[in-house]
């Protein structure tokens, strides 16, 4: 009798791995209003053959959960999500007192956040490696997560460890009661918030440099909006919220209780909840729209970014659902709850809108300058990235963003109005550049660099895992490891190409459009490269993005960050003295008080090789240098992020405050 030897189709892996989590936090499960929808399930894509298998911890290609509790001096046994009993029941059931469920929850929510970013970015998420980059950024394959790292009311992302550290604590009013422990690793919002910090740092390593009041606030506000918008993927939660608020997203309710248990236990409601309260008061006309001026604390300042983006989200949702209200004949001011069918349909629209708005926010990260960003520049980045991928905007998504930022007095440098056409970053202006302006814009400007880059995985005849056809090599293929190798190859290749440009002509003109020094040596505070003898600069990233818009339009891009640093001093007289020796023999300047950075984001359309955007901050901008000096000397928190005094754990400090 014949026996089937090939792998039968009924043994194929399932499409999803389902894991149970809290939709909010354990406190919501003992409150009647929220208990009905607090038990949620996250579906994650099953592991593929070209990535590492899921192991105990959990540990996979992206994340490694290490459950060591320093306060108790012990390791908790790792959960094995491949155990048949757990596969049969969507993982462990929700259990506040079980460390293995804590491990499952941080893994599930963190991976859900990673997948959301990857859909928007058009490429894989890679974590930043700790340490100051030399000729460019470097990366690490796995992010470590410690669910019980601290016995204190804190949770933070550690750039120096490439890790998320979660704390647990007993509230001040619960001393002596064993049932009152609060675990930050069981808050859906805190996990998503901290994971967003780690992803943002991997994409934009210099966003942890507090060079202006918006920098740390941007990290906090962006992470909050990621946590908030992810809630709208939970249809049951959203349906209940909509039914209780007559279909409005501006009324304070279940979704505004971000990190509710943590905020209740510590007595801090949090900037995000204040931002949502602000949205509600604006809608009711009980309070004027607050503006950004005179707000400096990162969480408080971040609430303006959250309020602006959530306002844009709510406006877009209202435009998308206006016809549903009319068709159902339902009036929000009737005092009656909307029909069940309408609530479900509205919840679906809210989820789709949240997904689109989150994608707009994530795609905008690629269009930011590589250093010293502001909220207004982020608005420009969102608008430009969206217009490049989705030229037609019938529901005026970009107008909704612009109007929300305008109402909150968020300034936009370099723009004369908040019209989307005015907000878009301009294409490179080569006027007056003798060498570059005469070259063909499509094939000439970066043709030499593009010829040295890799644009994907190649199955060549080599001994590498992707080159060899040997079964033992094929089994070792790992797409993320290969992607890291491609990025690092492209960083080095682009850096070598720029350094090989002739000292006259094209190199001097590239200096102008990139905003850095590549040839001239009249700034002694800019270090020289030991390899080339020229002013040192870094290619911090060179990544390939492949995106698809809602109409099927595809966009393939190279995104490169080229940066340079210059010594900065708190005393302007010291700065002038250090830079006065540029015309003669070069003397070693004093040790810097802080680093002042310049550079550019270069975006190349890989369909025709055209350089579409060069978004720069000049290294020789002394006005910006003076602003950064004033910021460092005027804000005690900023001093912790400056030069020699920089703390190794910036987010621990911000979150503890």
Tokens describing residue 626:
């003076």
Where do the DSSP E strands lie in 310-455? none
Highest mean pLDDT among 27-31, 575-579, 625-629: 625-629
Q: Phi/psi class of residue 372: alpha, beta or left (left: φ > 0; alpha: ψ in -120 to 50)?
A: left
Phi, psi of 566, deg, nearest 5 = -135, 140
Bridge-based pairing of strands 68-69 and 74-75 is antiparallel
> Taking Cα atoms as reference points, which of 346, 66, 378 lies closest to residue 225?
378
Q: What pLDDT digit, counting tens, does each position of 401-441 carry? A: 999 999 888 999 889 899 999 999 998 888 777 777 665 55
Q: What is the pLDDT of residue 644?
A: 42
Residue with tokens 């189709």: 9
- To the nearest whole number, what is the mean pLDDT of the chain? 84
Q: What does the pLDDT look like over 610-647, one tens digit per residue?
A: 899 999 999 999 999 999 999 888 766 665 555 444 55
- pLDDT score of 375 more than 90: yes
The pLDDT score that the predictor gives to residue 211 is 87
Residue 563 confidence class, pLDDT cut points 50, 70, 90: very high
Q: Please report which confidence band the pLDDT of residue 134 belongs to, taking 50, 70 and 90 as the band edges.
A: very low
Tens digit of pLDDT for each residue in 142-189?
A: 999 999 999 998 899 999 899 999 999 888 765 555 567 889 999 998
Q: Which two tokens stand for residue 135?
A: 């000729």
Nearest to 364 by CA among 423, 441, 297, 417: 423
Cβ(342)–Cβ(330) below 8 Å: yes
pLDDT tops 90 at residue 485: no
Closest CA relative to residue 192, chosen from 170, 164, 218:
164
Distances (CA, A) of 97 to 60, 202, 381, 458, 563: 24, 33, 44, 48, 47
Residue at token pair 């060899």: 468
Which helix H or strand E contains 40, and what residues bound it?
A: strand 39-45
CA angle, corner 282, sides to 245 and 657, nearest 5? 95
DSSP string, 525-570: TSPBPTTTSSBP-EEEEEEEEEEE-TTS-EEEEEEEEEEEEEEE-S
């Amino acid at each position: 009798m014949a026996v089937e030897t090939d792998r039968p189709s009924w043994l194929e892996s399932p499409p999803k791995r389902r894991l149970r989590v809290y939709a909010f936090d354990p406190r919501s499960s003992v409150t009647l209003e929220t208990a009905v929808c607090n038990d949620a399930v996250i579906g994650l894509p099953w592991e593929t053959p070209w990535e590492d298998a899921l192991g105990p911890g959990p540990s996979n290609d992206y994340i490694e959960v290490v459950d060591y509790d320093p306060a108790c001096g012990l390791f908790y046994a790792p959960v094995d999500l491949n155990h048949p009993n757990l596969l049969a029941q969507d993982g462990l059931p929700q259990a506040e007192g079980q460390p293995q469920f804590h491990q499952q929850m941080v893994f599930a929510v963190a991976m859900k956040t990673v997948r959301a970013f990857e859909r928007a970015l058009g490429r894989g998420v890679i974590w930043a490696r700790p340490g100051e980059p030399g000729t460019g950024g470097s990366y690490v394959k796995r992010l470590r997560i410690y669910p019980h790292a601290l016995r204190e009311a804190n949770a933070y992302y550690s750039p120096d460890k490439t890790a998320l550290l979660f704390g647990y604590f007993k509230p001040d009013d619960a001393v002596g009661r064993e049932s009152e422990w609060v675990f930050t690793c069981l808050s859906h919002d805190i996990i998503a918030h901290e994971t967003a910090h780690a992803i943002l740092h991997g994409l934009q390593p210099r966003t942890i440099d507090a060079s202006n009041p918006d920098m740390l606030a941007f990290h906090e506000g962006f992470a909050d909006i990621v946590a908030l918008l992810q809630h709208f993927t939970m249809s049951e939660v959203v349906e209940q919220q909509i039914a209780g608020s007559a279909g409005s997203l501006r009324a304070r309710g279940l979704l505004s209780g971000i990190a509710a248990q943590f905020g209740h236990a510590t007595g801090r409601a949090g900037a995000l909840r204040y931002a949502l309260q602000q949205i509600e008061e604006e809608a009711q006309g009980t309070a004027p729209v607050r503006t950004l001026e005179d707000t400096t604390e990162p969480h408080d300042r971040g609430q303006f970014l959250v309020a602006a983006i959530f306002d844009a989200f709510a406006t877009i949702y209202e435009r998308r659902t206006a016809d549903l209200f009319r068709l159902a004949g339902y009036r929000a001011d009737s005092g009656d709850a909307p029909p069940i069918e309408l609530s479900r349909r509205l919840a679906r629209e809210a989820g789709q809108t949240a997904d689109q708005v989150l994608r707009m926010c994530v795609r905008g990260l690629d269009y930011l300058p590589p250093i010293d960003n502001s909220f207004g520049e982020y608005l420009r980045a969102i608008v430009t990235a969206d217009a490049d991928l989705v030229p037609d905007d019938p529901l005026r998504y970009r107008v909704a963003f612009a109007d929300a930022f305008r109402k909150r007095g968020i300034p936009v440098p370099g723009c004369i109005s908040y019209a989307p056409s005015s907000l878009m970053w301009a294409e490179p202006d080569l006027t007056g550049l003798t060498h570059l302006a005469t070259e063909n814009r499509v094939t000439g400007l970066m043709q030499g660099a593009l010829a040295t880059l890799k644009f994907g995985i190649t199955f060549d005849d080599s001994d590498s895992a992707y080159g060899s056809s040997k079964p033992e090599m094929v089994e070792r293929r790992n797409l993320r490891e290969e992607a890291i190798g491609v990025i690092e190859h492209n960083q080095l290749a682009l850096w070598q190409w720029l350094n090989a440009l002739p000292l006259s002509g094209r190199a001097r003109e590239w200096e102008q459009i990139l905003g850095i020094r590549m040839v001239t040596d009249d700034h002694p505070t800019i270090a020289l490269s030991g390899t080339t003898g020229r002013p040192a600069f870094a290619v911090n990233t060179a990544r390939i993005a492949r995106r698809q818009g809602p109409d099927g339009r595809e966009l393939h891009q190279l995104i490169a960050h080229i940066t340079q640093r210059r010594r900065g001093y708190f005393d302007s007289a010291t700065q002038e003295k250090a830079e006065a020796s540029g015309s003669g023999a070069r003397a070693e300047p004093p040790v810097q008080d802080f680093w002042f950075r310049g550079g550019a984001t270069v975006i190349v359309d890989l369909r025709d090789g055209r350089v579409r955007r060069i978004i720069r901050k000049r290294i020789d901008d002394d006005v910006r240098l003076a602003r950064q000096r004033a910021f460092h000397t005027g804000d005690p928190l900023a001093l912790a992020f400056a030069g020699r005094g920089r703390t190794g754990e910036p987010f621990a400090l911000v979150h503890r405050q």
